[in-house]
Structure 1
Amino acid sequence: MSPPDPTEPPTSVGPARRKRTDEIVDAIKRMIVEHGLGPGDRLPQERELLAQFSASKGTVREALKALEVQGLISVRTGPGGGAFIERMSERRAMSLLSNFLFAKNLSIANIYEMRKVLEPQLAASATLNIDEAGLGRLADIIRIYDHEPADAAERWNQRMAELDFHSVVAEYCDNPILAFTCRFLQRLLKDLTIAQDIYVQPEPVLRESGIRHQHDLIAAMRRRDATAASAILVEHMAEAEQHMLGLQARLRDQFLSEDEAPRRSRSRKRSA
């Protein structure tokens, strides 16, 4: 056989054939939507699924297992058992995403790069929907951290409440994807090791400036000024990023200094 002519374009290859299991998973998802099934509803019995998809028992069970791992259904055995629709909780969805990002070496800068773009949009959307009860909740949260903490436990609770403020704002956003993403970024900050190291440090925080921004946001929301709300969050997120990165650099320098001291001591002993 002669070698291929390098001047000829390569032969196009079609997409790889999907696994039958994946096709059945997608078909069951469509079935759930098309039939309006909700949490607690039962999927067709296994024998019906076998006939509907012309698939083997092992393939159908593998598909059901995949849906169960995704948190979309639960499979119960025994009398009255079967596959039942589950409500995917936001906590579970975030846990799955966190697991995916676990080995990605996320940084504070990565998170704030997203927050600076999304949080202003979130605030603008929430401004058009928030009510007096929501504004009251935001004011109550500010009272958690509008004073110096008495101890380390209160300091930690204050840091978490500062993030919870933005989580409440997200509740009033009419874009569920935007709201979820912002809450997820807030959770990443709570879970990120370097951020946790920063939050427990007795370092001064930009309390006065941050609280002023948040009170200004509440005022803008009360008068339904979405443009002002967005502008306030642009400034607030930029300032928060600068502050967090500064604390991170200071903490890193502190760790390096503490690590260097024993080495200098060992070096002096060897030269003595």
Structure 2
Amino acid sequence: MARTSETPDEKAPRRSRPIRVAEAIKEWVVEQGLQPGDRLPGETEMIARFGMSKGTIREAMRLLQAQGLVETKTGPGGGSFVGEVSTERAHALLANYFYFRDISIADIYQLRVALEPEVAAAMAGRLSPERLAELRSIIDDYAEPATDPEDERRQHVASLHFHARLASFADNALLGFIIGFMSQILADLTVYRQLYAAPNVELWRTGRQHQLDLLDAMERGDAKAARSIMRSHMEMAWRMMEDQQAVVMKRFMAH
């Protein structure tokens, strides 16, 4: 029988029984070496294995299902299976944590300036022709300057997708996830703070050229140039995003 007990800790709040059972099920899945798509034991076996009531087991499974760690299928061949949390779902869950926290442009770019130049340098000379072509095709999506605020917002989101996609090619999956998450919340900020009240041709032109130069440096394997270009790109974007935010706030205060 899997253990569901835990070492007492007066400083830590005691977790509910379904939460403790859900943690025990996760531990058991890891111990058994189960992979996404593998079938989990039925409810009767779960009750016997973990020594808990039907209601507790069902609540624990619902918790795991809400987390994306368990998938339930009905019909012939149905049952409960090990789930795999997608990057999109993980980003959304993490975004919920920051929902009521005042994340600023500076908070995001402080991390971007620290991480993205090193990722670009590390991947210089290591991207396949197919991946380079994919990144160039993303840049082609904003080959012309925006004609209105909505078009500029769309182009900015596409540009952030370029950075997220580039980071996803990194060997370090954690770095790729973090950079992708920062791109996502930055895209969200542009929407609810309305940071694109007017097209910014300078940001488009300079940013796009940075990205083209970056891919050229990475294609020829020039890590030093890739790092320098990405850093300049991040610093320029940081400055111009904060300037744009100041313009929007000034307009808002005027009303």
Q: What's the offset of the Cα at 1:169?
A: 0.8
Contact 1:71 1:88 in 2 (8 A): yes
How has the CA–CA distance of structure 1 residues 254 and 203 changed in structure 2, closer, same or farther, with 3 Å as cutoff? Answer: farther
Q: 2:202 aligns with which of 202, 205, 220?
A: 205
Q: What's the offset of the Cα at 1:151?
A: 4.5
Secondary structure in structure 1 of the residue aligned to 2:199: coil
How has the CA–CA distance of structure 1 residues 108 and 45 changed in structure 2, closer, same or farther, with 3 Å as cutoff? Answer: same
Q: What's the offset of the Cα at 1:209?
A: 2.4
2:23 maps to 26
Q: 2:158 aligns with which of 156, 161, 186?
A: 161
Distance in 2, matches of 1:195 and 1:17, equals: 37
Contact 1:156 1:200 in 2 (8 A): no
RMSD over aligned Cα atoms? 2.5
Give yes or no for the alignment of 1:242 onto 2:218.
Answer: no
Contact 2:39 2:82 in 1 (8 A): yes
How has the CA–CA distance of structure 1 residues 81 and 146 changed in structure 2, closer, same or farther, with 3 Å as cutoff? Answer: closer
Q: 2:126 aligns with which of 107, 129, 134?
A: 129
Distance in 1, matches of 2:247 and 2:103, equals: 19
Amino acid at match of 2:27: R
Contact 1:220 1:226 in 2 (8 A): yes
How has the CA–CA distance of structure 1 residues 227 and 156 changed in structure 2, closer, same or farther, with 3 Å as cutoff? Answer: same
Q: 2:178 aligns with which of 150, 175, 181?
A: 181
Q: 1:53 aligns with which of 44, 50, 54?
A: 50
Greater Cα radius of gyration, structure 1 or 2: 1
Q: Which moved more, 1:42-51 or 1:126-135?
A: 126-135
Q: Percent identity?
A: 40
Amino acid at match of 2:157: M
Name structure 2 gaps, 5 residues minimum: 1-8
Secondary structure in structure 1 of the residue aligned to 2:37: coil
How has the CA–CA distance of structure 1 residues 253 and 80 changed in structure 2, closer, same or farther, with 3 Å as cutoff? Answer: same
How has the CA–CA distance of structure 1 residues 56 and 199 changed in structure 2, closer, same or farther, with 3 Å as cutoff? Answer: same
Secondary structure in structure 2 of the residue aligned to 1:205: helix
Q: TM-score, normalised by structure 1?
A: 0.80
